[in-house]
Structure 1
Amino acid sequence: MSLFQQTSNVLDIPTGRLKMDILGPRWQKDKVVVVMGATGTGKSRLSIDIATQFPSEIINSDKMQVYKGLDVVTNKISEQEMSGVPHHLLGVVNPNTEFTATDFCDMTSLAVESILTRGLLPIIVGGSNSYVEALMDGGDYRFRSRYDCCFLWVDVSMPVLHEFVCKRVDQMVRNGMVDEVRDMFDPTADYSRGIRKSIGVPEFDSYFRAEPYLDEENRARLLGEAVSEIKMNTCKLATRQLEKIQRLRNVKGWNIHRIDATEVFCKSGKEADKAWEKQVARPSAAILGEFLYNFPTPSTATVGTAKEYFPQCLVA
């Protein structure tokens, strides 16, 4: 059970509107949470954890997951994993069109306003940091002038993350990735537009073109080469994403809270879940408690139970 679920049980928190003004003056600006991180670090998991504690809706900021289709290739969160939390900008765009950063900014701004009018907390989550940067720093900083943003960065040591994403690609193959891409294969397709830019699509091009003419051994060899290329490109993507976050934090001066999840990925089963609660869920809950309600943030080394920093008046 996550920390956020424990908190709900301890505090008997009902579903409903966030009570923003019960602790004193109303917020000067409406609040928005942004969950960042390289591919595979657990951003979606953390966003759902947050949303099960604070009545929220989630806005996807992954530039490939915004398209319809290729759910395995783009690693879209499943309906079961959503735990009933509404998601925006997820699987809604024609896969053959080009979805731009400007489109993202326009649609996200509308989604944020819609979520806030219902008294809920908007959570923007995804790995496309260029989209998030355009939203935050574009248009004369219009978004930031209107909203107070809290940035949570789920970080994992690159060697550990690279090993994990390679295993995840193998699992995606077992989950039907090859057939999923084969079903939309078009030898005349443009891999520079739409969903076909996704890692896991162009890498199969040579395999699908040659597949009908190869014996079983050579098909297996060519397929293995395609999968290896997907792993390599995914690891390169993770490295670029990390570099972008570090630039936003260290060069542009964004106040990004780093949450180290490396220990989680070095464990398995219940031990990994315990590490997630201790290393990710609890520190994130403390940071959000301060951000949303101006409660002091305990150090991650001494974080106690959720009851210490979430009184019984968070929602009504």
Structure 2
Amino acid sequence: MENNQPLIVIVGPTAVGKTATSIDLAKQYDGEVISGDSMQVYRGMDVGTAKITNQEMDGVPHHLIDIKNPDEAFSVADFQSLAKKAITEISDKEKLPFIVGGTGLYVNSIIYDYDFSDVKEDRAFRDRLDKFAEEHGNDALHEQLKLIDPKSFQQLHPNNRRRVIRALEVYHLTGKSVTEESHQAQRSIYDAKVIGLTMDRDVLYDRINLRVDLMINEGLVEEVKHLYEQGYEHCQSMQAIGYKEILEYIKGNVTKEEAVSQLKQNSRRFAKRQLTWFRNKMDIEWFDMTSDEEKSLKEIHHFLKESFNKYRI
């Protein structure tokens, strides 16, 4: 069911400039930001997730950041529930809600109101898959998706074992893919405008490489070491890009240089997958941030004013 609640969504690949853009727009339109990132919910995982700092927030309130410990599960259904609640609370204050992030499924679950209420579980099947992954590796488990659910195969990283298992489980129980089983609505339940930030690939990859170098300088190794010492090594959160690579270095399996190189490569590949998702799954107004960010911001402002003219934002 649709409502007239305006909602601005900002998506794009990692390192494209979503954070700075969202702050600029939120200040312009008296908004508050809901993080649409699956990793920034975790406390103590700051450097590796490029989590926004209090200084960067510049007074703009943020939601769904630092709400879970690294050993706690956090699903798309959890995100959907909390994000909807935050949208209502922001709107009740007569402020404009923004969702900002690079986790496509999370963002889509809000825009199209995925229904997760009827999804079943099979613990025994799940345990068998987990054991299979322990014995044969995450890549072998991930490969099982290729024939039965090629969309999930493309969208899910092999090391995201929990979601790979869930996709296999849903198909095992229903014969349908995760997206089919979630009963996606055909239209947004909000008056949502989705802004996509893009960039020339070489420029974006250079930014990603630079961001990784900055993360190392800002203490990523120390952050991962602290999480490792706290006993979080085998948590799903530690399989995220930025953590699993550095963990291998901390455990002595690779050199620091090898870990950093792998992190850069995995981050670039992740950016490519993000762009593929957004282009195939969402109705997006794209803005190129390659050369003249100031000009692109003006174009975004114009787009929003035209789109939300009836709300007088």
Using the size of structure 2 for normalisation, the TM-score is 0.73
CA spacing shift, 1:39–1:136, aligned 2, 3 Å: same
> Runs in 1 of length 4+ with deviation above 6 angstroms?
none
Name the stretch that deviates more: 179-188 or 39-48: 179-188
CA spacing shift, 1:168–1:123, aligned 2, 3 Å: same
Aligned counterparts, 1:164-313, within 5 A: 164-186=207-229, 189=232, 191=234, 193=236, 195-210=237-252, 222-249=255-282, 254=283, 256-263=284-291, 275-278=292-295, 280-294=296-310
Query: Aligned pairs, how many?
Result: 244
Write the distance in 1 (CA, Å) between the matches of 2:28 and 2:68. Answer: 29
What secondary structure is seen at the aligned counterpart in 2 of 1:50?
helix
Contact 1:135 1:143 in 2 (8 A): no
What secondary structure is seen at the aligned counterpart in 1 of 2:255?
helix
1:192 deviation in Å? 5.6
Match in the other structure for 2:131 = none
Percent of aligned pairs with the same amino acid: 34
Aligned counterparts, 1:47-196, within 5 A: 47-137=22-112, 138-139=114-115, 146-186=189-229, 189=232, 191=234, 193=236, 195-196=237-238
Match in the other structure for 2:139 = none
Contact 1:187 1:209 in 2 (8 A): no
The C-alpha deviation readout for 1:273-313, integer Å capped at 9, x for no partner, is xx2111x2101100110111159xxxxxxxxxxxxxxxxxx
The C-alpha deviation readout for 1:15-43, integer Å capped at 9, x for no partner, is xxxxxxxxxxxxx7110000000001111
What secondary structure is seen at the aligned counterpart in 2 of 1:247?
helix
Unaligned runs of 5+ in 1: 1-27, 212-220, 264-274, 296-313
The C-alpha deviation readout for 1:238-290, integer Å capped at 9, x for no partner, is 000000011024xxxx2x10000111xxxxxxxxxxx2111x21011001101
What secondary structure is seen at the aligned counterpart in 2 of 1:185?
helix
CA spacing shift, 1:158–1:192, aligned 2, 3 Å: farther
Contact 1:136 1:143 in 2 (8 A): no
CA spacing shift, 1:143–1:110, aligned 2, 3 Å: farther
Using the size of structure 1 for normalisation, the TM-score is 0.72
CA spacing shift, 1:289–1:154, aligned 2, 3 Å: same
Name the stretch that deviates more: 181-190 or 107-116: 181-190
Contact 2:71 2:235 in 1 (8 A): no
Write the distance in 1 (CA, Å) between the matches of 2:248 and 2:44. Answer: 21
Unaligned runs of 5+ in 2: 116-182
